[in-house]
Structure 1
């Protein structure tokens, strides 16, 4: 999908988390291209940086670039019984309130409760044992578009 991003952030292969529009964006004439295609709370991967610029008062340098993006693959920890490459799952956060070094992978940014996701790759066991006793696997998930 095509969107706009600050010139200093527009690098092929980089990723960004869309946190929502700034107040000034709501009435901007580029809003349908810049903001409308993106979902708040999603991580996007920049596939291509186009050779097109627009002026934008909220970005450093006051310029944005046209970029082609897609939802990024997200590394997460899921129950080992669900970790089959190629399968489509409904993502669920674990029922866990233990603070540990792997918590960011159990509750990752960019994927939301109930999202339909494809397991792109099973990365195997995590480097540590789950302190809550869950049998987990590291996987790359691709959030799918809603139907």
Structure 2
């Protein structure tokens, strides 16, 4: 999908999480092209940067460039019994009472929302052995 991003941020391979539009976007003539196809809370990866520039008052240098993005692959931890490359699952936030866990960002990854259907693109062959909840987990790469 095509969107716009600040010129200084437009680098192939860069990932970002769309946090929502700025107030100034509501009256911008490029609103539909820029943010119309993006979903709040989703993680995107830039796959191509175009050569043109447009004016935009909210970005540094007041310039944006068109880019192509796709939903990003997401590293996460999953119950090791469910890890089979190529299989699909509906993401559910795990039940965890540990607030300061060093794996929190992998158990509750940015970009995924409960009930998202994703595939296990790759078993990353990493298994933390110190889950404070005592769970057997494996690190995977999830793909939409």
| 1-structure distance, mates of 2:133, 2:126 | 15
1:92 alignment counterpart? 92
Q: Is the 8 A contact 2:2 2:69 kept in 1?
A: yes
Secondary structure class of the residue paired with 2:96: coil
**Counterpart for residue 120 of structure 2:** 119
Counterpart-to-counterpart distance in 2, 1:140 and 1:14: 17
Rounded to whole Å, the distance in 2 between the matches of 1:52 and 1:122 is 39
Report the Cα offset of residue 84 of structure 1. Answer: 1.1
Distance, in Å, in 1 between the alignment partners of 2:114 and 2:37 is: 21
Cα distance in 2 for residues equivalent to 1:45 and 1:38: 12
Give me the TM-score of the superposition, normalised by structure 1.
0.93
> What's the offset of the Cα at 1:124?
2.0
| Whole-angstrom CA distance in 1 between matches of 2:17 and 2:71 | 10
Runs of 5+ consecutive residues of structure 1 not aligned to the other structure: none
In the TM superposition, 1:63-102 aligns within 5 A as 63-98=63-98, 99-102=100-103
Q: Cα RMSD between the aligned structures?
A: 1.0
Count of residue pairs brought into register by the alignment: 143
Q: Match for residue 138 of structure 2?
A: 137
When normalised by structure 2's length, the TM-score is 0.95
Match of 1:57 in 2: 57
Match of 2:43 in 1: 43
Distance between the aligned counterparts of 1:128 and 1:9, measured in 2? 37
Give distance in 2, aligned partners of 1:10 and 1:112. Answer: 26
